[in-house]
Amino acid sequence: MYCPHCGQQQASEALRFCSRCGFPLGVIAEVLAQGGTLSAREPESQGLRMSPRQKGIRQGAMLMLSALLIVPLIIFAIILLDWDKLIPLVPLSAVVCVVGGLLRIVYALMFEHTGPAQRFASDFSMPAQLNAPMRNQALPPSHGTPATDWRRRPETAEIIHPPSVTENTTKLLDKEQG
């Protein structure tokens, strides 16, 4: 199989992206397997997809309603099994479920957006990408700088210049005169 974007021959039919340009090949392999036709995909109903805010409100409500199931189960365990150690769990579980659900609803209302959930990599239009003009037929020509133009790394002895011979002798002459 060849990449329809750059023309690179692929090493395997199972590759999902082109090894040269990164073009997604998943749908291309499906088209080739079906003899050139793209199967009709059912459009997802926008009504069924919930926004993050709606999901958060639903989670909070379910957590609050779970108190109606958890509290009676703990009470039945206390009555039937005579587990008196579970008595403090009754008000604790009720408070945690109700307050936790309420906090989840408040968080969803304050911080989560109302738009539908984002779709990522699978959201591309097939015909637009197949009909795109082929760019970058090959790698661009090299524009490298030859290695002879680079400076040689200095030796540590060359970084600091040695002092002049005359500096020390002039200091000695100044001391003898004074």
Considering the domain architecture, whether residues 30 and 6 belong to the same structural domain is answered as yes
pLDDT tens profile 30-70: 777 777 777 666 555 545 678 899 999 999 999 999 999 99
Is 5 a member of any domain?
yes
Looking at the 3D structure of the chain, how many domains does it have? Answer: 2
Maximum mean pLDDT: which of 2-16, 97-111, 160-174? 97-111
Mean pLDDT value of segment 135-148: 65
Considering the domain architecture, whether residues 33 and 62 belong to the same structural domain is answered as no
Q: Which of 61, 82, 111 is where one domain is finished? A: 111
Q: How far is CA 144 from CA 137, 138, 140, 152, 177, in A?
A: 20, 17, 12, 18, 63
Angle in degrees, CA 124, 129, 130, rounded to 5: 130
Considering the domain architecture, whether residues 57 and 107 belong to the same structural domain is answered as yes
Is 174 a member of any domain?
no
Is 160 a member of any domain?
no
Is 153 a member of any domain?
no
- Print the domain residue range for 56: 52-111
Considering the domain architecture, whether residues 58 and 80 belong to the same structural domain is answered as yes
Considering the domain architecture, whether residues 105 and 81 belong to the same structural domain is answered as yes
Q: pTM score > 0.75 for this model? A: no
Mean pLDDT value of segment 103-110: 95
Considering the domain architecture, whether residues 58 and 19 belong to the same structural domain is answered as no
